[in-house]
Structure 1
Amino acid sequence: MEKNMAIAFMGAKLTTRSEKYENDNSHTNLAITQCSGETQANLASLGSSFSLNSTTFEVCVLNWFTNLWEIKKNEYWGYVTTGGTEGNLHGILVGREQLPDGILYTSQDSHYSIFKIARMYRMKCMKVSTLTSGEIDCVNLKDLVLTHKDKPAIINLNIGTTMKGAIDDLDLVIQTLEECGFTRDRFYIHCDGALFGMMLPFVKQAPRITFKKPIGSVTVSGHKFLGCPIPCGIAITRLEYINALSKNVEIIASRDATITGLQNEVQKCIMKARYLQNRLRDAQISTMLNKFSDIVIFERPLDDDFIRRWNLACNGNIAHVVVMQHITIEMLDSFGGEFRKKRSFWFEDGQLQPLCIANDIGSRNCVCSMHRSLS
């Protein structure tokens, strides 16, 4: 009885929380009853040839992603990971094995796991500054790379940073490395596409992440935009790199797999993010939304209870909302309306003023008293 009550309580709590924001980028609007039979079996891929094995499923998934990232099926190696961090662990490891004395370069807005990985692998790591958008600053990258020109460069590229949803410019990074005199055998680029790596291919005019460019690996999370019920990820790299590490790499042929409707899903998320940004701007709240992003950044609320109730992720003077599929217009209206009322109360006596967050989101996005008077 006690166990059943605990389960019921947790279920009710999760349902209530899902009606607010989920700032871990996860898609929670799911119906997985079609897979209920499969969830009763252990599909762990252990390399066995017995029938109860997920190898075939895994390769179907990988083949679909190779089409997305434009690499031939006989030129890639990959696997389904436990999540984005494991994908980063694998991608950066491959880079280090290709360039053992290489230096890891990553922006200061990178996911914390990148810096942890550098410590785990005992790699020298250079933290590159970012633009206001959160995108890697290629001017600073160039200075750092030239300072250490005698060492190969291993680049971690962010396809959507955690806080601001910034997309590092792959073409500009490649151009910067080439201008510094780095030939393609002296640099390795890993693309951390945890959330946006699954979204950008379905956005018109968005930058392409493709193995037709000189990248070494890509990773993406399966439990974020795709909403897999169990945390997982996809890691893809070039087969030639794996062949250099191991003499016995087995390639399992498989049929194509398709997933439909993703372009529509991505567009809905981006349009709802723009809707929220406009709602906040209309309420004179400082806000920013990067191009091709569904992460809306705004001034940090002053009420910790409000932050907890809406599950807001905060960093310094800013907070953000990740507008995933399960977020409705009604939820955005409710959030925006409550935020506006709270601000009216916080600032009604004039003793407190909205924070200036121009350093975080740029002066054109900041509507503090100083920047509002300049606009």
Structure 2
Amino acid sequence: MTLSSGVTHRSKLPDVGTTVFSAIEQLSAQHNAIDLAQGAPNFSCDEALIACVNQAMLAGHNQYAPLTGHPALKEALAEKVKTLYGQTYDVASEILITAGASEGLYAAITGLVHVGDEVIFFEPAFDSYAPVIRLQGATPVALKLNVPQFTIDWDALRAAISPRTRMIIINTPHNPGGQALSAGDLAQLAALTRNSDIIVLSDETYEHLLFDGRQHHGMATHPELAQRSVIVSSFGETFHVTGWRVGYCLAPAALMAEVVKVHQLLRYAADTPMQVAFARWLREPSHYHSPAGFYQQKRDLLASLLQESPFELLPTAGSFFMLASYRHFSEESDSEMVKRLIIEHGVATIPLSPFYSDGTDNRLIRLCFAKDEATLQAGAQALCLLKTR
């Protein structure tokens, strides 16, 4: 590509354009569609949490935080993780506060993956994994989860591991599949990575949004895996403040040292008043225990409202999302179905095929239930009006 100035420009990511989320957002705005697409709450967080941020600002916490994060927040995280998962992380060298989970993922991949390495991940997948891997001169190796259960094919993973495998990316609870790993899954992963130099990068953004009494089986719950894992999570999804962009990483000191090197060049420090507020907020365990029940009620409400729709709903173990199948009544692509729902029925959802590098289309759409009751009712009513063809 030649710019108007005559400078020749060669893109490092020539196939990466506007994300599906942006495209759906634009089309939805044109048609004033009900939003069951965006993975973000449309309701406010607890007013007391906002008050904590205001108090932090008034108390003068408005300058840069320390490089690896506000000490009180790191201490609160260490206490929470030890209590919930049984793993001890050193506050000084094994906990990093990041500008959201996305920055944590980027810093971990950039700091730990080298040119020529291979990184295995599972599709459907969050859309940043593969591009960030490629930016390091490494090769993304995409394995498909079993559909419709969205479970890992452990034989396929075993076959995919090579001497060049540097990292395996795990996502639990899974976006967009809505499923979660079990203790048995962790045992399988530990067995496959034992006696290797493979790093596990575990995206656990929805760690506190598990339903029906399920426990979170993250890497910190398995002592062996914890020693080779970088765990990434976020405060935004748990506390309904996705726009605040504060997350965190947990990792053994040797791995964390490399992640911090990249973090200091990307952001240096996450927003200070929010860190101070979250440090106070985490001291009350009900604040991170209660969202599971809160979102389970929303999941169940949307499912009940869609009983008369033509869609078949897949089970959801955790996250903000449920999947709906339409393969039994339409041969439309998922992108065509989503467009039709926006244009003809005024409701926005997300197609699943963009979560696959090869565009695999299982005739599934993703619905976000992190919405207020009025939005869920209106969105469900619109979906129930869909006529099968």
Structure 1 and Structure 2 fold alike (TM over 0.5)? yes
- For the Cα contact (< 8 Å) 1:135–1:169, is it kept in 2? no
Please state how far the C-alpha of 1:217 moved relative to its aligned partner.
1.4
Task: Name the count of aligned residue pairs.
Answer: 308
Identity of aligned residues (%): 9
State which of 352, 372, 375 in structure 2 corresponds to 1:315.
352
Please state how far the C-alpha of 1:271 moved relative to its aligned partner.
3.1
- The answer to whether structure 1 residue 140 and structure 2 residue 156 are counterparts is yes
Structure 1, residues 26-58: CA drift from partner, whole Å, max 9, x if none? 47322224432434656343539xxxx972343
Structure-to-structure mapping, 1:47-62, within 5 angstroms: 47=66, 55-62=70-77
When the two chains are superposed, the root-mean-square deviation of aligned CA atoms in Å is: 3.6
State which of 36, 53, 65 in structure 2 corresponds to 1:35.
53
- For the Cα contact (< 8 Å) 1:27–1:225, is it kept in 2? no
Distance, in Å, in 1 between the alignment partners of 2:250 and 2:123 is 24
* Residue 123 (structure 1) aligns with: 138
Distance, in Å, in 2 between the alignment partners of 1:159 and 1:27 is 23
- For the Cα contact (< 8 Å) 2:89–2:95, is it kept in 1? no
- For the Cα contact (< 8 Å) 2:89–2:250, is it kept in 1? no
- For the Cα contact (< 8 Å) 2:166–2:197, is it kept in 1? yes
Give the aligned residue type for 1:314. Answer: P
Structure 1, residues 187-208: CA drift from partner, whole Å, max 9, x if none? 22111112x22324x8623342
- For the Cα contact (< 8 Å) 2:349–2:365, is it kept in 1? yes
* Residue 200 (structure 2) aligns with: 189
Structure 1, residues 247-300: CA drift from partner, whole Å, max 9, x if none? 9xxxxxx99833424333212312321332233233332221333454121244
- The answer to whether structure 1 residue 273 and structure 2 residue 299 are counterparts is yes
- For the Cα contact (< 8 Å) 2:200–2:230, is it kept in 1? yes
Using CA pairs under 8 Å that are at least 6 residues apart, name the structure with larger relative contact order, 1 or 2: 2
* Residue 380 (structure 2) aligns with: 336
Structure 1, residues 158-207: CA drift from partner, whole Å, max 9, x if none? 113332223345743652562x5x4244322111112x22324x862334
* Residue 105 (structure 2) aligns with: 88
Q: TM-score, normalised by structure 2?
A: 0.66
- The answer to whether structure 1 residue 199 and structure 2 residue 212 are counterparts is no
Q: CA 1:58–1:311 in structure 2 vs 1: closer, same or farther (change >3 Å)?
A: farther
Structure-to-structure mapping, 1:125-274, within 5 angstroms: 125-132=140-147, 133-145=149-161, 148=162, 150-168=163-181, 171-172=184-185, 174-175=187-188, 178=191, 182-194=193-205, 196-200=206-210, 204-213=213-222, 214-215=225-226, 216-228=229-241, 230-242=244-256, 257-274=283-300
* Residue 289 (structure 1) aligns with: 315
Please state how far the C-alpha of 1:236 moved relative to its aligned partner.
1.2
- For the Cα contact (< 8 Å) 1:153–1:186, is it kept in 2? yes
Give the aligned residue type for 1:45. Answer: Y
Q: Which ranges of structure 1 fall in alignment gaps of 5 or more residues?
A: 1-13, 248-253, 348-352, 354-375
Q: Which ranges of structure 2 fall in alignment gaps of 5 or more residues?
A: 1-28, 262-278, 327-336, 354-362
